[in-house]
Copies of this chain bind each other. A is one copy, B any other.
């Protein structure tokens, strides 16, 4: 199975064979295994390397002094654990694993060499960071405006599409190796309520969830109830790979209209 990071970068920015080989080498040099429920990094750490996830799931999370905690992002194979290439100093959140898996470590020096002499790679990684930021914005939108049901639908759509990019879907199905409690933390719901939404989803035949396998029989339908527009994933520069025919239609057509800034909601 191909390296998920390379596969993902490849999707949007064409990498030379040379670029690919170097990336492949950089991500296979120092690989470590991690178990379930470990912290890969903690708030306050200063990462000195780049850590792409090769397999398994992790999440960014943060907790308040009083114990309330939130999952801020899911990290899938091909994602970088570090908030980004080393310019930022202290971590402002933690990264914990959700499953066991494998993690690469690219030393700072190798990374700098790579981005310095291989602008395509640098650009691709840059872009990756920006997509992560776009996802974060979409989560903000979800939490602020979507209700519990829509939020869950939206999250499932996103995860499915992101998994598809790295080749981790089989037809309409994918692994969802995550407890309902974690999904709840990510959607800002309680476990109890998330469970209820999940049941509604099943009753509506929008989702089949059996064991750790998620099946989405009718993705466009699920996207519709989630008000999901895939543009924020920047899947590719025009068409193909998940950018469905309705993506364009989904876009809000509100360019400088008079109603651009109405009052309350």
Contacts and interface: CB of A to CB of B under 8 A. Distances in A.
Interface string A68-103: 111011000000000111011110111010000000
Nearest to A125: B87
Given A64-B252, A72-B141, A263-B191, A90 B136 contact: no
B264 A39 contact: no
A: interface residue count bin: 35 or more
A251 to B, nearest CB: 6
A232 interface: yes
Nearest to A71: B144
A25 interface: no
Contact of A89 (B60, B96, B237, B265): B237
B134 A252 contact: no
A42 to B, nearest CB: 5
Nearest to A250: B65
A62 B141 contact: yes
Most buried by B among A140, A192, A256, A265: A140
Contact of A136 (B65, B137, B227): B137
A231 interface: yes
A38 interface: yes
Interface of A: 37-39, 42-44, 60, 62-70, 72-73, 83-85, 87-90, 92-94, 96, 123, 126-127, 129-134, 136-141, 143-146, 179, 181, 184-185, 187-188, 190-192, 227, 231-232, 234, 237, 250-252, 254-256, 260-261, 263-265
